[in-house]
């Protein structure tokens, strides 16, 4: 698992770098303005609407596929996949028709603070971009299928064509017409599915029309998906609340939250999702075979790995929120006010990084056991907390209050999931996880102090951007030295594996 996760991290870095290029292009062209707000909302609506179905189905699909394959064979499992594909196409058609007709009230629901001009622009964008949900839904299933068949690399490469088409559409929209922006969203979603098709073929997947709504496995998947629909989509629900309130606070507030969330998502995409993506099909198979010892060990290792990677990133993002935002976005139409808003939001989003990460791992442990209700209940509690905190904290901290509310609710949800998982499967190494967490936190804090001092000192001699890059490098070296001497089990495993590798290649 560790080796595959490492490869995924490297690939995700490439994909996320392109994602940053996409955000930088958008910020350069439109800054934090009504156009960028309308574009982000039109991009959010299709993803948000379909996440209630797509993510829920994809989450239930992996354990269900493993169960069918074990009981009836691979052909039955592939037939089930085709049935699910056609069901998703059917549901997507209904959603497109509904959204096209009700575009105006839907946009106002997502951003009630928009003025009339921005609402009209967002409605036009949404009526175009909504057609992309056909390919969003198919992408969820096809990526999951490849992961089940042991191919984790290709699903993670789909972000490359996606970001390429988005970047091109932003550049063309500046030169020709802003309505090129939503067309770019559709083409980007299509490119992801087209990219996957040859690899699906190699894995012996063949599409044929099969649409049996009475199929017992489809019914069971939909039943499992109902709570997963809500539980897995907690980020989208919280984002909806955040953006609705942000649209009332300040013009460009939605864009500032989006840019900060993208930066926060960079860490999640590289470290968290790489580990979760590899772990989920594996523990789903263990659960189907009733291998609880292996499942506990895999979950415990994943949690410690997340702590090892995310805690130093959290400290670094909190210390350098403003310099990071200035380095990445501070050009073109992205003015000083946009930098201040975005870095303020990033600071408070960073607090919840560890909560976002561990929540992904713990939720997947429940889904592998075909328990989607527990994450749903915990997510519902956290969502209510997020809404209440949004209302309270936004009055005192503005945009930062919305980000802080999201972070607090994520951490709270994670604590609930830890308690619930221990009750469900028994002890899974919490003492070892806690000791490891404390060691990693101490190393991260020391790293943070050294990095901050380095940045302050270097800034007196060289420009701020170069000082930031060099300071981050110094911090990374400091952190790795500290964790090496702290005798953290996960680090020892990695170091020993590297030593064995070096011995093998030595003459």
Sign of the C-alpha dihedral, residues 28, 29, 35, 38? negative
Residue 506 forms part of a structural domain:
no
Asked if 128 contacts 179 with a C-beta cutoff of 8 angstroms, the reply is yes
At residue 494, the pLDDT reads 61
Does one domain contain both 348 and 419? yes
Average pLDDT over residues 40-67: 72
At residue 308, the pLDDT reads 86
Residue 70 forms part of a structural domain:
yes
Task: Examine the pLDDT at 64 and tell me if it is beyond 70.
Answer: yes
Residue 209 vs residue 31, higher pLDDT: 209
User: Within a 13 Å sphere around the CA of 95, how many CA atoms are in the beta-carbon half?
Assistant: 25
Asked if 282 contacts 3 with a C-beta cutoff of 8 angstroms, the reply is no
Task: Examine the pLDDT at 85 and tell me if it is beyond 70.
Answer: yes
Does one domain contain both 388 and 497? no
Average pLDDT over residues 372-399: 85
Average pLDDT over residues 342-369: 86
pLDDT digits (tens, 9 = 90+) for 195-241: 998 888 888 788 777 777 667 777 777 776 766 666 556 666 666 77
Does one domain contain both 102 and 176? yes
Per-residue confidence at 367, pLDDT binned at 50, 70, 90?
A: confident
Residue 211 vs residue 443, higher pLDDT: 443
Q: Which domain holds residue 319?
A: 2-428
At residue 50, the pLDDT reads 65
Asked if 221 contacts 57 with a C-beta cutoff of 8 angstroms, the reply is yes
Main-chain dihedrals φ then ψ at residue 372, nearest 5 degrees? -100, -10
Residue 273 vs residue 135, higher pLDDT: 135
At residue 451, the pLDDT reads 92
Does one domain contain both 479 and 452? yes
At residue 332, the pLDDT reads 65
At residue 232, the pLDDT reads 57
Q: Which of 428, 455, 472 is the last residue of a domain?
A: 428
Does one domain contain both 49 and 17? yes
Residue 410 vs residue 54, higher pLDDT: 410
Asked if 79 contacts 212 with a C-beta cutoff of 8 angstroms, the reply is no
Residue 17 forms part of a structural domain:
yes
Q: b/e for 168-187, b at 16 or more Cβ within 10 A?
A: bbbeebeeeebebbbbbbbb
Q: Which two tokens stand for residue 134?
A: 């056909």
Does one domain contain both 449 and 380? no
Does one domain contain both 384 and 294? yes
Average pLDDT over residues 256-268: 76
The DSSP code sequence of 281-339 is HHHHHHHHTT-HHHHHHHHHHHHHHHHHHHHHHHHHHHHSHHHHHHHHH-STT--HHHH
Does one domain contain both 363 and 469? no
Per-residue confidence at 498, pLDDT binned at 50, 70, 90?
A: low
Does one domain contain both 386 and 444? no
Residue 334 forms part of a structural domain:
yes
Residue 479 vs residue 74, higher pLDDT: 479
Mean pLDDT of the chain: 79
* % the chain with pLDDT above 70: 83
CA gap 459, 464 in Å, rounded: 6
CB-based contacts of 474-482 (< 8 A; 24+ apart in sequence):
474/450, 475/312, 475/316, 475/447, 475/448, 475/450, 475/451, 476/312, 476/447, 478/446, 478/447, 478/450, 478/451, 479/312, 479/443, 479/444, 479/447, 482/443, 482/446, 482/447
CA gap 464, 462 in Å, rounded: 7
At residue 505, the pLDDT reads 46
At residue 454, the pLDDT reads 92
Residue 507 forms part of a structural domain:
no
Q: Which of 428, 453, 478 is the last residue of a domain?
A: 428
Nearest to 31 by CA among 254, 350, 263: 254
At residue 507, the pLDDT reads 47
Residue 167 forms part of a structural domain:
yes
CA gap 55, 62 in Å, rounded: 11
Q: Which of 428, 454, 479 is the last residue of a domain?
A: 428
Does one domain contain both 354 and 440? no
Does one domain contain both 261 and 160? yes
pLDDT digits (tens, 9 = 90+) for 448-469: 999 999 998 988 888 888 898 8
End-to-end CA distance of the chain: 28
Main-chain dihedrals φ then ψ at residue 150, nearest 5 degrees? 90, 5
pLDDT digits (tens, 9 = 90+) for 386-441: 889 988 888 888 888 888 998 898 899 899 998 888 888 888 778 888 888 888 89
Residue 462 forms part of a structural domain:
yes
Does one domain contain both 480 and 444? yes
Nearest to 421 by CA among 353, 360, 375: 375
Total residues found in the chain within this entry: 507
What's the domain count of the chain? 2
At residue 503, the pLDDT reads 56
Residue 106 vs residue 235, higher pLDDT: 106
At residue 1, the pLDDT reads 54
At residue 45, the pLDDT reads 73
Distances (CA, A) of 483 to 309, 351, 487: 11, 21, 7
DSSP 176: S
Residue 372 forms part of a structural domain:
yes
At residue 9, the pLDDT reads 65
At residue 430, the pLDDT reads 81
């Amino acid at each position: 698992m560790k080796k595959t996760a490492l490869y995924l991290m490297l690939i995700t870095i490439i994909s996320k770098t392109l994602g940053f290029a996409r955000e930088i292009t958008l910020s350069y062209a439109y800054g934090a303005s009504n156009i960028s707000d309308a574009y982000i909302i039109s991009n959010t609506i299709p993803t948000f609407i379909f996440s209630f179905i797509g993510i829920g189905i994809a989450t239930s699909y992996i354990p269900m596929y493993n169960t069918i394959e074990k009981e009836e064979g691979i052909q039955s499992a592939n037939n089930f996949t085709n049935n699910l594909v056609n069901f998703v196409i059917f549901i997507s058609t209904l959603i497109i028709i509904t959204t096209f007709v009700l575009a105006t009230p839907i946009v106002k629901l997502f951003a009630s603070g928009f003025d009339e001009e921005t609402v009209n622009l967002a409605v036009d964008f949404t009526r175009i971009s909504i057609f992309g949900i056909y390919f969003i839904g198919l992408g969820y299933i096809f990526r999951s299928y490849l992961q089940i068949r042991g191919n984790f690399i290709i699903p993670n490469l789909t972000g490359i064509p996606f970001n390429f088409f988005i970047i091109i559409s932003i550049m063309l929209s500046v030169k020709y017409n802003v309505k090129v922006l939503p067309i770019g969203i559709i083409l980007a979603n299509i490119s992801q599915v087209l990219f996957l098709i040859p690899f699906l073929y190699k894995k012996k997947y063949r599409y044929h029309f099969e649409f049996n709504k009475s199929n017992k496995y489809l019914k069971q998947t939909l039943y499992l998906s109902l709570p997963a629909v809500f539980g897995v989509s907690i980020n989208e629900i919280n984002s909806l609340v955040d953006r609705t309130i942000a649209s009332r606070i300040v013009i460009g507030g939605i864009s500032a939250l989006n840019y900060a969330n993208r930066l926060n998502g960079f860490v999640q995409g590289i470290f968290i999702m790489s580990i979760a993506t590899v772990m989920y099909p594996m523990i789903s198979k263990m659960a189907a075979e009733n291998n609880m010892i292996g499942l506990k060990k895999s979950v415990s290792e994943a949690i410690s790995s997340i702590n090892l990677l995310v805690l130093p990133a959290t400290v670094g993002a909190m210390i350098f929120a403003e310099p990071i935002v200035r380095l990445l976005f501070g050009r073109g139409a992205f003015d000083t006010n946009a930098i201040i808003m975005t870095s303020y939001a990033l600071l408070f989003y960073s607090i919840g990084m560890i909560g976002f990460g561990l929540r992904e791992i713990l939720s997947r442990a429940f889904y592998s056991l075909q328990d989607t209700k527990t994450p749903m209940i915990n997510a519902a509690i956290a969502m209510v907390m997020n809404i209440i905190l949004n209302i309270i904290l936004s009055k005192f901290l503005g945009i930062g209050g919305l980000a802080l509310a999201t972070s607090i609710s994520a951490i709270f949800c994670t604590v609930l999931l830890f308690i619930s998982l221990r009750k469900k499967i028994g002890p899974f190494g919490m003492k070892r996880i806690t000791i490891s967490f404390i060691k990693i936190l101490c190393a991260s804090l020391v790293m943070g102090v050294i990095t901050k001092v380095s940045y302050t000192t270097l800034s007196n001699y060289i420009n701020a951007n170069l000082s930031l890059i060099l300071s981050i490098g110094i911090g990374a070296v400091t952190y790795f030295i500290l964790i090496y001497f702290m005798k953290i089990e996960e680090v020892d495993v990695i170091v020993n594996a590297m030593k064995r590798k070096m011995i093998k290649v030595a003459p």
